[in-house]
Structure 1
Amino acid sequence: MGSVAGAGAPSNVRVVVIGDAGTGKSSLIVAVATEAFPDKSPPVLPPTRLPPEFYPDRVPLTIIDTSSRQEDRAKVEQECQKADAIVLTYSCGRSQTLERLSSYWLPELRRLEVKVPIIVVGCKLDLRDDRQPSLEQVMAPIMHEFREIETCIECSALKQIQVTEVFYYAQKAVLHPTAPLFDQESQTLKPRCVRALKRIFILCDHDRDGALNDAELNDFQVKCFHAPLQPSEVVGVKKVVSEKMPEGVNDNGLTLTGFLFLHALFIERGRLETTWTVLRKFGYDDEIKLRDDLLQNPSFKRAPDQSVELTDKGLDFLKGVFSAFDMDGDGALRSQELEELFSTAPSSPWEEEVYTDSAEFSATGGVTLNGFLSQWALMTQLDPGKSLAHLIYIGFPGDPASAFRMTRRRRQDRKRQRSQRSVFQCFVFGPNNSGKSALLNALIGRPFVEVYTPTKSDKYAVNFVEQIGGAKKTLIMREIMEESVPSLLQKKDALAVCDVAAFVYDSSDEASWKRAADLLVEVAAHGETSGFEVPCLLIAAKDDHEPHPAAIQNSARVCTDMGIEAPIAVSIKLGDIGNLFRRIVDAAQRPHLSIPETEAGKSHKHFRRIVNRSLTVAAVGAAVVVVGLAAYKVYAIRRQSHT
């Protein structure tokens, strides 16, 4: 099966030819472009372009010649770093040029971190001595050491032997690269390739019986290669698979095992274009992930204080997925079940550090339904594009955009004095060792840990919080390390994604309270100047200790001065947190309340009142003048009518 490079493939391939002086670089380029051997060629040729119709993939190819002079080395390095593929030449008639491949050229390309396919070409085949070792014997140890070599070939520009093949292999290595698909050492498909082909298999298995029957195979062939399979070809495919791998075919048709075996066979036989055509037809790029243009959702373009949430349709789909993959029916997904769930994605999204230990787990160590849905809510908040991609990977039916909705701007929520959101994000500030991590752990049902372990990076916890009346909201708590607060507040829109801020302090430690109060003032001032004010709550942690009198007195004064609620006393150690998380969500739902005022903010507000009052007086004065003029006109008209 031939193929034409499709969406996701490069629109032009740039091949750079390098090698020692006199190895035949320029002659090779002239020979492929003109089908003739040059009598004389310049030291370095200008860029040479082969048109799209030159090779079956119909992609134009630009060939860059390079100088072998030491003084031009910097220029050669620049060209190598812009290359899609490298043709590295040696002369079949000069053994020292072959030795230079492993002593200089290949190590030099590694030093330059040139990570593109390399085609090693033995030029001047007509000068080869029959007593010399074969190409395979010569190149096997070099290819073993330098895995970046895609292939080796010998040619003769003088005799026109395998000249066009040189650049065909170079272009093919770019359009249909081996590295993402196949592990040369183990001679197996790479995991990401297996995952993509598994997803494609499932999409083509319309009757969901775990095998591709003749009609499904034919549909697949037409979709990918625009030509149906003849009945004899279907029989032939099944015969090849069943002979080599009996479990690859069953009574219903070609199994996933057989489908994967076929692709491994194509690749082993050098027909990588077949597998790449299939992958690209189903939207994959060269890294075997869905192309960016397939994941562009216009609804994700939003103001800083807007967020993206899953719709009921999206949540219902995820609930169904959870149920389908909870094989043992224990109400939790163990690591093996999660691996199977995401086996059609490039990897599990939960492998990233930000999602590690962020949600509720069962006693047996599996993620609960609440935890599973919460993690999706967190991913949708932090990276809606990633959430969209993974919904597609795991088989969301219909338009994936229907799984998402954009929230109203927080500024509008404040004006309307109510938030319509389902997911709220709470920034948790506080000094070190004040109890921030313990608070996050409490949200996801983790037991209290007595030993203090400093947090090394901002971390998240997410869970559902039940409101009065039974409605559930999702609360995301983000722990902000004390050390990272200055860098956070350098950004103008730092608080745009924050629905509510909590300030945690050790109620038995006056220094802890003072630092929390300072952080409160800093955050409140940032909100006033940036226009992204947020409701703020003080949380007096470690209530099982004797509270510090100064902390009690000063906190009461600060709350009165700034116009916020009194501190909420909690003891995570004793499990005494009352309805803390509900109160956090309540504050987020009523974004016009609990917003602290700093002295600067009060002064600014007082100034605005004076200005507004002055404007009102001026407006009243102007109105009096207008009314006076109108009265005068009426009086003048009446006077005229009487005379």
Structure 2
Amino acid sequence: MSATGIYGGKRTGVRVVVAGDRGTGKSTLISAVATEAFDRNVPPVLPPTRLPADLYNDLVPLTVIDTSSSLENSSKRNEELKRADVVVLTYACDQPMTLSRLSTYWLPELRHLGVKVPVILVGCKLDLQDEQAPMSMEQVMSPIMQKFREIETCIECSAASNNQVPEVFYYAQKAVLHPTTPLFDQERQALQPRCISALRRIFTLCDHDMDGALNDSELNEFQVKCFNAPLQPAEIVGVKRVVHEKLPDGINDIGLTLSGFLFLHALFIEKGRLETTWAVLRKFGYDDDLKLADEFVPVPSKRAPDQSVELTTEAVEFLRGIFRLFDTDNDGALQPHQLEDLFATAPESPWSELPFEDAAEITSSGNLPLNAFLSEWALMTLIDPKKSMANLIYIGYTGAPASALHVTRRRSVDRKKQKTERNVFHCFVFGPKNAGKTALLNSFIGRPFSKSDTTTTGERFAVNVVNQVGGNKKTLVLREIPEDEVQTFLSKKTFLAACDVAVFVHDSSSEHSWKRSRELLVEVAKQGEESGYGVPCLLIAAKDDLDPYPMAVRDSLGISQELGIEAPVRVSMKLNTMNHVFNRIVSVAEHPHLSIPETETRKNRKKYLQVVNRSLMCVSVGAAAAFVGLAAYRVYSARRNTSG
């Protein structure tokens, strides 16, 4: 972000960097807008120039940075370009070579530097242009703008005659405050997908009676909310007439339809009135990326590393209702197009990429059942609460954030109280390559065993609902930890803080697999002890359909007893004999004080505490005996004095 930046959702300034070939009029242009006069004797490079906030209607000050075009000053110029909010590239109208240099040098150079901001092309010295051979600006600029989409506007000006000088910086400011690219695709001449999603959400929020159209009252309320001024009846009639003439289905018997609402905004943008659409978007909380700004998505920020975030009952019930609303065929699962419709008011489907993609169970026909739908939300809330809260708002949740998200109790407190109140458990799955970790995750979300299952190269998640004895339901999140990344993860002190239970998978037919899994268990137990985030652990002996490695069976039982954890769970994903492994994982997580490996340090600490407790008990008994003796002596003494 540039030095001007954004504070509290409102931009505090715009940083304009002016660059171009030597002699194209950069410094003269800046001097002319600052002094409203033409000066033939300006310095080669001006110091930073601040234009007043009231120069333009948006009341945002501009800081204009002049740059040198010399090679020896290129490093400083490049640094300024990287800090720009908008770049003004100049050429001289009387020097055609400087125009061609824009596309052969300056614009490619900006891309090379990674400068991704709007660009304004400015032809200076318009008064010196050869009148005998005038250039058609549209004809010249069209191919350049086709190739370099970052160009926002092209304009010609003259500092000598004060012709369109203020307009240069007006367009520069406008390109930052009201950018075109997020809203409109110039090549397709259509609204951008994210813009459509945002406007669709706004339309839905304003359609209070949910009849699919904005009636006169709703349209007027929308106008007041966004622009603090009501529409006169004649203006409403005029708006409807314009829409109906160009797009008949944009108006129906009730009022303005969604297609008409979108058409109006496309019309504003095509006519250069981007500030109108941006005013609407910002009123409803959108930032320049057409996502809800941070202040519109408040989430619990103060929480310890061993606390997590879950959806409340209220939020889950809201999601159940949304699911039923879009499950139009009432088959208990959302088809891909139904899920797409559900997230049509979000910037994009939040589950279309990792780690959410393919993380939940789907039916054989590719549909998403209710449990899987809620599981995806649970996963998103666990690993990215802000994204979860934002998407709840996108799809229509209007309650307070505090009523949607719940911060769980610390895991360290759960261990002391020997119980947990969590509904979502985060399980880390460790193990060497080819041990069966990926197959375990696939089995959890109903994927059939396949010999072609490849080893996961990065982190992967799988989430599902586990039905416990008595009808109790918990959501379990399995997080596969790649063997190659274990050391990197364990080097972070708080890595295990987010873990409710750790499982260690090994190929029961392989000596190497068992030994490596045992090493990982020891490493995790040690890190948990050192960091203070010890976690319950469980061994899983996979590939039980193969001939077992005899030593692994004996050693794993011995290790389990030595560390004070449960005996290994034997499973075969190939034969689908899972031995209730997921219920057992949840059961271990539900008893957070048990199954924490007994490391030597922990054993010594327990012995020390036992000695201290015995000592305190002896002291207590001794003190009690002394107290009883003293009391008896006092009674005896009192009787003796009385009898005397």
Relative to structure 1, is the Cα distance of residues 539 and 70 closer, same or farther in structure 2, using a 3 angstrom cutoff? closer
Aligned to 1:316: 317
Tell me the CA shift for residue 261 of structure 1.
0.9
1:115-154 correspondence to structure 2 within 5 Å: 115-131=116-132, 132-154=134-156
The 1:19–1:235 alpha-carbon spacing in structure 2 relative to 1, beyond 3 Å, is same
| Contact 2:93/2:125, CA 8 A, preserved across alignment | yes
Residues 439, 453 of structure 2: 8 Å contact kept: no
One-letter identity of the residue aligned with 2:563 = M
Unaligned runs of 5+ in 1: none
Percentage of identical aligned residues: 63
Letter in 2 for 1:534: V
Q: Which amino acid aligns with 1:85?
A: V
The corresponding residue for 1:571 is 572
**4+ residue segments displaced more than 3 Å:** 5-9, 607-641
Is the Cα–Cα contact under 8 Å of residues 322 and 369 in structure 1 kept in the other structure?
yes
How well do the aligned residues superpose, as a CA RMSD in angstroms? 2.7
SS in 1 for 2:141: helix
C-alpha distance after superposition, 1:142-161 (max 9, x if no partner): 22222222111111111111
What residue is the counterpart of 2:384 in the other structure? 383
Q: Is the 8 A contact 1:300 1:406 kept in 2?
A: no
Q: In the alignment, residue 576 of structure 1 is paired with which amino acid?
A: T
Aligned residue type for 2:524: V
Q: What is the CA–CA distance in structure 2 between the aligned matches of 1:516 and 1:99, rounded to whole Å?
A: 64
The match for 1:101 is 102
Bigger shift: 283-292 or 591-600? Answer: 591-600
- C-alpha distance in structure 2 between counterparts of 1:419 and 1:35, whole Å: 71
1:209 to partner: Cα distance: 0.8
Corresponding residue to 1:252 among 251, 254, 259? 254
Deviations 1:59-89 (A, max 9, x none): 1111122223332222221211111111222
Structure 2 residues not aligned, in runs of 5+:
1-5
Shift of 1:303: 0.7
Aligned to 1:441: 442
In the TM superposition, what is the alpha-carbon distance from 1:546 to its structure 2 partner? Answer: 2.9
Cα deviation, residue 262, structure 1: 0.9
Quote the offset at 1:189 in angstroms. 0.7
How far has the Cα of 1:525 moved from its partner?
Answer: 1.8
* Partner in structure 2 of residue 213 of structure 1: 215
Contact in 2 for aligned 1:8/1:284 (Cα 8 Å): no
| TM superposition shift of 1:600 | 3.6
Secondary structure at the aligned position of 2:497 is classed as coil
8 Å Cα contact 2:542/2:573 also seen in 1: yes
The CA distance in 1 between the partners of 2:64 and 2:485, in whole Å, is 50
For the 8 Å contact 1:6–1:277, the answer to whether it is kept is no
What amino acid is the match of 1:51?
Answer: P
Find the residue that maps to 1:42 and give its secondary structure.
coil
1:8-407 matched pairs, under 5 angstroms: 8-131=9-132, 132-297=134-299, 299-407=300-408
Q: What SS does the aligned partner of 2:231 have?
A: coil
Question: Could you say what secondary structure the match of 1:353 adopts?
Answer: coil
Letter in 1 for 2:26: K
The answer on whether the counterparts of 1:430 and 1:516 sit within 8 Å (CA) in structure 2 is: yes
Describe the SS at the equivalent of 1:302: coil
- Which secondary structure state, in structure 1, belongs to the residue aligned with residue 238 of structure 2? helix
**What are the superposed Cα offsets for residues 416-439 of structure 1, whole Å, 9 maximum, x if unpaired?**
111111111111222222222222
| C-alpha distance in structure 2 between counterparts of 1:505 and 1:104, whole Å | 58
* Per-residue deviation, residues 453-505 of structure 1 (Å, max 9, x unmatched): 21111211111111111111111111222222222211212211111122222
The code of the aligned residue for 1:342 comes to: F
> Is contact 1:464–1:473 with CA below 8 Å preserved after alignment?
yes
Residues 460 and 478, structure 1, Cα contact 8 Å, conserved in 2: yes
**Which amino acid is 2:113 matched to?**
L
Instruction: Quote the residue 2:3 is aligned against.
Output: none
Distance of aligned partners of 1:526 and 1:627 in 2 relative to their CA distance in 1, 3 Å threshold: farther
- Conservation of the 8 A alpha-carbon contact between 1:50 and 1:61: yes
Question: Distance between the aligned counterparts of 2:515 and 2:40, measured in 1?
Answer: 86
The alpha carbon displacement at 1:254 in A equals 0.9
**How far apart are the structure 2 equivalents of 1:452 and 1:347?**
29
1:183-226: CA deviation from partner (whole Å, max 9, x where unpaired): 11111111111111110110111111111111111111111111
SS in 2 for 1:496: helix
Letter aligned with residue 297 of structure 2: L
Contact 1:6 / 1:280 at 8 angstroms: preserved in 2?
no
* Contact 2:38 2:160 (C-alpha < 8 Å) held by counterparts: yes
8 Å Cα contact 1:7-1:283 kept in structure 2: no
Aligned to 1:409: 410
Aligned equivalents of 2:67 and 2:634: distance in 1? 92
- Partner SS for 1:454: coil
Q: 1:66 to 1:415 in 2, by over 3 A?
A: same
Moved more, 287-296 or 570-579: 570-579
Letter matched to residue 88 of structure 1? L
How far apart are the structure 2 equivalents of 1:336 and 1:514? 48
Q: CA deviation at 1:141?
A: 2.5
Q: Is the 8 A contact 1:540 1:567 kept in 2?
A: yes
Looking at structure 2, the residues matched to 638 and 39 of structure 1 have their Cα atoms a distance apart, in angstroms, of 119
**How far apart are the structure 1 equivalents of 2:571 and 2:116?**
56
Find the aligned partners of 1:85 and 1:637 in 2 and give their Cα distance. Answer: 98
Counterpart of 1:327 in 2: which secondary structure? coil
TM-superposed deviation, 1:450: 2.9
> What amino acid does structure 2 have at the position aligned with 1:216?
E
Moved more, 625-634 or 314-323: 625-634
For 2:515, the equivalent position in structure 1 comes to 514
Q: Deviation digits for residues 535-581 of structure 1, max 9, x if unmatched?
A: 22222222223333222222222222112222222222222223222
Q: Is the 1:283–1:291 Cα contact (8 Å) retained in structure 2?
A: yes
What SS class does the counterpart of residue 517 from structure 1 fall into?
helix
Q: Which moved more, 1:610-619 or 1:33-42?
A: 610-619
> TM-score if structure 2 supplies the norm length?
0.93
CA contact (8 A) 1:300 1:384 kept: no
Q: In 2 relative to 1, CA 74–627 (structure 1 residues): closer, same or farther, beyond 3 Å?
A: farther
Q: What are the superposed Cα offsets for residues 6-52 of structure 1, whole Å, 9 maximum, x if unpaired?
A: 97452101111222222222222222122211242222222222211
- Asked if residue 530 in structure 1 is aligned to residue 534 in structure 2, the reply is no
1-structure distance, mates of 2:291, 2:383: 20
Structure 2 Cα separation of the partners of residues 6 and 605 of structure 1: 53
For residues 107 and 512 of structure 2, the distance between their equivalents in structure 1, rounded to whole angstroms, comes to 61
2:258 partner amino acid? L
Contact 1:563 1:597 in 2 (8 A): yes
Shift of 1:107: 2.2
1:129–1:472 distance in 2 versus 1, CA, 3 Å:
same
- 1:229-283 CA deviation, whole Å, 9 max, x = no partner? 1111111111111111111111111111111111111111111111111110100
> Alpha-carbon deviation of 1:618?
7.3
SS at match of 1:206: coil
For residues 335-392 of structure 1, the C-alpha deviation after alignment (integer angstroms, 9 at most, x for no partner) is 1111111111111110121112211111211011010000101111111111001000
Task: Look up the match of 1:540.
Answer: 541
Query: Which has the larger displacement, 405-414 or 93-102?
Result: 93-102
Report if the CA contact (8 A) 1:8-1:286 is conserved: no
| 1:545–1:140 CA distance, 2 compared to 1 (3 A) | closer
Q: CA 1:630 to 1:94, structure 2 compared with 1: closer, same or farther past 3 Å?
A: farther
Return the alpha-carbon distance in structure 2 between the equivalents of residues 271 and 6 of structure 1: 25
Q: Judge conservation of contact 2:298–2:401 (CA < 8 Å) in 1.
A: no
Q: Distance in 1 between matches of 2:449 and 2:254?
A: 54
**What SS does the aligned partner of 1:448 have?**
coil
Q: Tell me the secondary structure at the aligned position of residue 465 of structure 1.
A: strand
Letter of the structure 1 residue corresponding to residue 334 of structure 2? L
Matches of 1:334 and 1:305, distance apart in 2: 37
Partners of 2:507 and 2:542 within 8 A in 1: yes
Q: How far apart are the structure 1 equivalents of 2:104 and 2:581? A: 68
